[in-house]
Chains A and B, each alone.
Chain A
Amino acid sequence: MTIAFDYTRSLGPVLGRFMAGLRDGRVLGGRTSDGRVHVPPLEFDPITHEPVTELVEVAPTGTVVSWTWNARPLEGQPLDRPFAWALIRLDGADTTLLHAVDAAAPSTIKTGARVRVRWAPVRAGHITDIACFEPGEAERQETPEPGPPVEIMTTPIRLHYRHTTSDEEDAYLRALAEGRLIGQRCPACRKVYVPPRVCPADGVAPGEVVAVADRGTVTTFCVVNVPFAGQRLPPPYVVAQVLLDGADIPIPHLILGLDAASVRMGMRVVAVWRDRSAWTFTPENIAHFEPADEPDAPYESYAEHQ
């Protein structure tokens, strides 16, 4: 599965001007009380702890202080072909900046090599406005008047995961693929957990496998009225906790097939399974729950789950 999020960060007075500089084609450093120029700039002086206010332009050319070869670039990195990572001290700076160097082979980069900024064709006030560095010296050029500071920067983060199930979850999902619902009984408190899980009351692994019914009682519910990205059903609709007969913990699912306003606590419901040909290893094999033709369950039968 892929988890992605656009991190939107507000920039303060220092980084806002630094990012604006990149957008405008210049690299700015921050001067601290000891006279040193830091690139990227620090927001606070590490000696006086006062805010850093003085930003000075440094050269778009610098010297490689350390490097390593990246033979197999990963997703999101500045170049999609082999390149060098380097710590680069720009002329006029006292600290180093980490970035990629577009070098043809490891033999073409060394400590002390001179490299220059390669600007991104389209710049937005983001560290990636420096597309990468490349061997060579930058030519002198007039930089335009500074534009307004950047206030917000957005960085998309995408990470990929392969989730793994425990043995108990595995058995639960395999049963679902056969149209069965199973739980497991805690050896200590005898409660049946669906899906099977380590008992949160006793901290012990689940024991005996128990079949549970595909019908149960609504213990609590909410009506979804708010539209959101990726929503599959038109609101309003009901998401409820359903305490399956034979289980001691409710599962969340949809209640459909009636007006949302008619759903109530204690209502008896029954699973509506999808067509058998559509079954996979997920709880979606049950399309939703709908009202069963039974009287409501007494409050005492689900009071513990409020």
Chain B
Amino acid sequence: MSEVAVIGFAASDRSVTTSGVETLVPVFEQALDRAGLGRREVDFWCSGSSDYLAGRAFSFVNAVDAIGAVPPIAESHVEMDAAWALYEAYLKILAGEAETALVYGFGKATAGDVHRVLALQLDPYTVAPLWPDAVSVAALQARIGIAAGLFTERDMAEVAARDSGGSAEELLGHPYLADPLRAHDVARVTDGAAAVVLAGGERASRHRERPAWITGIAHRIDPQGLGERDLTTVPSASAAARDAGLDHDVDVVALHAPFTHQELLLRHALGITGSSRFIGTDGDAMFSAGLSRIGAAAEEIMSGRAERAAAHATSGPALQQNLICVLGRDR
């Protein structure tokens, strides 16, 4: 029996200030309003963001102002995509320490050079000192996938064309950004913020007619060393999908793939076939994109458009860490 459900979701992709605080206020208001929950009824707050992205130490502390931290609140933070903060909040509710939680993520990718900032996720001894940028690291993975015959540059362009409404043919005429990646293969890195409201047991049913019950959630990690991994496979995504109970019986899938070839790798790793509908995105809002995927999948259930949905989030270089959340109409 499922014990935890998503009961509200809101996201904003407008430019955020470096502190994030001002952006979060309306996102919280909207998510709580949809959940029919008052701010003071939130038992636990959990966020995902990055100091390196913001360029200031303890950047998440500023964001706590948007919560209203007087009188004191229960709050926690992960330096990852906020999908992992959702996992923490999920456990908090399962453990009986909270009935409700608001999970949020935010990031200002445009404050610095994000592709250089992301180099700091790599091994600090043998890789990060060389400053390989995030696009180059992804390109090394894409070439291995192409060489292994898993997909072609055309397949990658078709992923982009589906979301943009353009034609793969036209996209393939553009120059390389980082061979074999073209501009359309790289998700537009954006500023953004997202919030998901969770509630446990009867509390969820009380607040929402059709809560999106989390029937399974799991996350795994692959080795950090890029050379230690077979970059054509995503074992952590496969393992997380297995543990979360992802099967072919999902109506919609929301993948967090910052690069087109990563969507193709993920479909393979997750065993997703043609019958499921994909929810596209038009950007990669740093540290909230994965949480937004869970929110978007939950929205499909809450709205009645789907009975079962799956969401995926990734964090780290070249799909190193992966989280799968399966949601359903029934507990």
Contact = CB atoms under 8 A, between A and B. Distances in A.
8 contacts: A70-B136, A74-B115, A74-B131, A87-B227, A155-B128, A161-B55, A204-B25, A204-B68
- Which interface residue of A164, A197, A203 has the most chain B CB atoms within 10 A? A203
B228 interface: yes
A198 B140 contact: no
Given A68-B139, A68-B143, A3 B55 contact: yes
A214 B60 CA distance: 31
Given A95-B227, A98-B140, A127 B126 contact: yes
B66 A198 contact: yes
B147 A66 contact: yes
A160 interface: yes
A167 B232 CA distance: 46
Contact of B117 (A70, A159, A165, A166): A159
A68 B140 contact: yes
Interface string A82-117: 000111010000011111100000100001000000
Nearest to A65: B144
B112 A159 contact: yes
B126 A40 contact: yes
Contacts of B180: 68
B111 A164 contact: yes
A69 B18 contact: no
Nearest to A204: B25
Interface string B135-148: 01101110110010
Question: 6 shortest A-B CB distances, which residue pairs?
Answer: A203-B68, A161-B55, A96-B227, A68-B139, A76-B131, A201-B70
Contacts of A127: 125-127, 129-130
Contact of B113 (A68, A74, A86, A203): A74
A142 B55 CA distance: 47
Contact of B21 (A66, A74, A76, A197): A197
A145 B115 CA distance: 40
Contacts of B116: 74-76, 159
B52 to A, nearest CB: 7
A153 B140 CA distance: 27
A157 B249 CA distance: 47
A55 B25 CA distance: 54
Nearest to A193: B65
Interface stretch (A7-15, A233-241, A254-262, A287-295): A7-15
Contacts of A200: 64-65, 68-70
Contacts of A185: none
A67 B112 CA distance: 26
A304 B21 CA distance: 24
Interface in A142-161: 153, 155, 157, 159-161
Contact of B144 (A3, A39, A66, A169): A66
A77 interface: yes
- Which interface residue of B115, B131, B178 has the most chain A CB atoms within 10 A? B131
Given A46-B223, A106-B179, A98 B69 contact: no
A55 B221 CA distance: 26
Contacts of B67: 203
A69 B111 contact: no
A128 interface: yes
Q: Contact residue range for chain A?
A: 35 or more
A205 B68 CA distance: 11
B131 A163 contact: no
A162 B293 CA distance: 29
Contact of B125 (A11, A69, A95, A198): A11
B18 A164 contact: yes
Contacts of A199: 65, 68
Contact of A155 (B124, B147, B181, B227): B124
A197 B117 CA distance: 28
B28 interface: yes
- Which interface residue of B15, B120, B137, B228 has the most chain A CB atoms within 10 A? B228
B121 to A, nearest CB: 13
A26 interface: no
A169 B137 CA distance: 38
A193 B136 CA distance: 45
Given A198-B21, A198-B25, A205-B22, A9 B125 contact: yes
Given A70-B136, A162-B111, A201-B68, A9 B124 contact: yes
A111 B147 contact: yes
A66 B140 contact: yes
Contact of B131 (A15, A77, A167): A77
B13 interface: no
Interface string B6-19: 00000000010111
A268 interface: no
A243 to B, nearest CB: 17
A203 B179 contact: no
Given A9-B125, A161-B111, A200-B70, 8 more contacts: A40-B125, A69-B179, A74-B115, A77-B130, A85-B132, A87-B227, A200-B64, A203-B66
B264 interface: no
Contacts of B108: 164
B5 to A, nearest CB: 24
A184 to B, nearest CB: 12
